[in-house]
């Protein structure tokens, strides 16, 4: 019996199977660039919005339907998990997230509670359930969490950082404390992601937003083992998207850490990145600022990325990071329509199937755009 979700273009691309066109979704596709979202935020603080399951689900579904994307991502935040871990989280106007009791000394790691139950995050799981129920039956829902290094950085720095001085100092001066912290986070994150899958997510994304601050050697030593531990524990029924920013120097190591799909930003060409990660699906990688330009320009930039993909099976179109608040909604819709239009070429499924087989055996292929 056909399964609309499993057979959707997004899920097929995650498995590197041929698709009728290149699927597209966009990070922060439910966000401040949308008038409806801004209006809601005037009445509801951000953290409250995340914790009100009905509203979080509504924001998720509204964005996906409005844009015509091929997947929805649950409206939530990377740092929601830190509260049940024992941290005081606040979102301040203009300054973003603040953690009032950060980790600064080795013994502070003992304050990190074990996530023995996902019950404190039931509001996220309820939002997943509601969104899954409301979405069309051929639009997958993506759950997500922060990767261990990014989450640890927030917990140690107390918020965003440029140089990650406190984080790097702890990881280099106390290997035991670092291992204990990262192990606890990896265990909690795997449990949280699996709970989202059980609640109705078809795929999950691991955001390593700050890992680009590490050198390749430091990544392999201090981050890779724990990211791999999370990914290996995720239920095999759900593809894992492994995404980071500023990671052009880390792609081989990120691929080793795992993930069915490797997400990249605009700092590296998509075709060059694909050569380096090998037989993995890839997600990316338009610079979000392109969406501030005119439609002709964004179509040109999108065409260039599709040209780099060469119609190869396993490409999910996305931005290299989230949609910027200044972005016109009509430009986002135009991008989605352009990707669908320009990638839906006659005979694509048959051609990409042959190209996929050729690629497995080392064959070359020509651009289809």
CATH number of the domain encompassing residue 125: 3.20.20.210
Catalytic: which of 12, 16, 21, 28?
28
Catalytic: which of 70, 77, 208, 260?
77
pLDDT, residue 347, reads 61
Whether residue 172 is predicted with pLDDT greater than 70 in this model: the reply is yes
Digit-coded pLDDT (tens) for 97-117: 999 999 999 999 999 999 999
Digit-coded pLDDT (tens) for 115-130: 999 999 999 999 999 9
Whether residue 364 is predicted with pLDDT greater than 50 in this model: the reply is no
Cis peptide leading into residue 285 (ω within 30°): yes
Digit-coded pLDDT (tens) for 314-326: 999 999 999 999 9
Q: Does some domain include residue 4?
A: no
The chain-wide mean pLDDT, for the chain, equals 93
Q: Which two structure tokens, joined as six digits, stand for 145?
A: 């969490």
Q: Does some domain include residue 181?
A: yes
Q: Does some domain include residue 100?
A: yes
- What sections of 278-346 are H helices per DSSP? 295-309, 329-343
Q: Is 33 a catalytic residue?
A: no
Digit-coded pLDDT (tens) for 208-235: 999 999 999 999 999 999 999 999 999 9
Contact partners, residue 240, CB within 8 Å, separation at least 6: 203, 204, 205, 206, 231, 234, 258, 259, 260, 261
Give the DSSP letter string of 121-144: GHHHHHHHHHHHHHS-TTS-EEEE
Closest CA to 142 of 333, 7, 5: 5
Q: Does some domain include residue 124?
A: yes
Q: Is 38 a catalytic residue?
A: no
Q: Does some domain include residue 354?
A: yes
Q: Is 222 a catalytic residue?
A: no
Q: Is 132 a catalytic residue?
A: no
Q: Does some domain include residue 365?
A: no
Digit-coded pLDDT (tens) for 7-18: 999 999 999 999
pLDDT, residue 168, reads 97
pLDDT, residue 95, reads 66
Catalytic: which of 33, 37, 154, 356?
154
pLDDT, residue 349, reads 58
Q: Is 154 a catalytic residue?
A: yes
Q: What is the reported pTM?
A: 0.93
Name the β-bridge partners of 145.
206
For residue 113, the enclosing domain spans: 9-360
pLDDT, residue 345, reads 73
Q: Does some domain include residue 366?
A: no
Q: How many domains does the chain have?
A: 1
Q: Does some domain include residue 3?
A: no
């Amino acid at each position: 019996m056909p399964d609309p979700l499993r057979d959707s273009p997004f899920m097929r691309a995650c498995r590197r199977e041929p698709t009728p066109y290149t699927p597209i979704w966009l990070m922060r596709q439910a966000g401040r660039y949308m008038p409806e979202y801004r209006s809601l935020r005037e009445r509801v603080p951000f953290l409250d919005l995340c914790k009100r399951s009905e509203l979080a689900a509504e924001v998720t579904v509204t964005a996906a339907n409005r844009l015509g994307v091929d997947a929805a991502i649950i409206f939530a935040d990377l740092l929601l998990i830190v509260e049940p871990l024992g941290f005081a989280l606040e979102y301040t106007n203009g300054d973003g997230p603040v953690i009032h009791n950060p980790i600064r000394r080795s013994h502070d790691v003992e304050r990190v509670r074990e996530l023995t139950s996902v019950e404190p995050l039931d509001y996220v799981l309820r939002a997943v359930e509601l969104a899954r129920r409301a979405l069309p039956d051929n639009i997958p829902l993506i759950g997500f969490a922060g990767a261990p290094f990014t989450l640890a950085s927030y917990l140690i720095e107390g918020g965003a950082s440029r140089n990650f001085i406190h984080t790097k100092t702890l990881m280099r001066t106390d290997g035991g404390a670092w291992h204990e912290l990262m192990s606890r986070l990896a265990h909690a994150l795997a449990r949280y992601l699996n709970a989202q899958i059980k609640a109705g997510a078809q795929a999950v994304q691991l955001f390593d937003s700050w890992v680009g601050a590490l050198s390749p050697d430091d990544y392999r030593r201090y981050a890779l083992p724990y990211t791999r531990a999370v990914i290996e524990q995720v239920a095999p029924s759900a593809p894992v998207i492994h995404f980071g920013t500023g990671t052009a120097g880390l792609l081989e190591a990120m691929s080793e850490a795992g993930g069915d799909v490797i997400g990249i930003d605009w700092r590296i060409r998509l075709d060059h990145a694909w050569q380096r990660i090998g037989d993995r699906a890839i997600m990316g990688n338009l610079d979000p600022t392109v969406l501030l330009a005119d439609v002709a320009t964004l179509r040109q930039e999108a065409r260039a990325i599709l040209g780099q993909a060469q119609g190869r099976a396993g490409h999910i179109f996305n931005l290299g990071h989230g949609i910027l608040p200044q972005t016109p909604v009509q430009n986002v819709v135009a991008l989605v329509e352009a990707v669908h239009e320009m990638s839906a070429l006659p005979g694509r499924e048959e051609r990409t199937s042959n190209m996929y087989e050729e690629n497995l055996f080392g064959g070359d292929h020509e651009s289809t755009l």
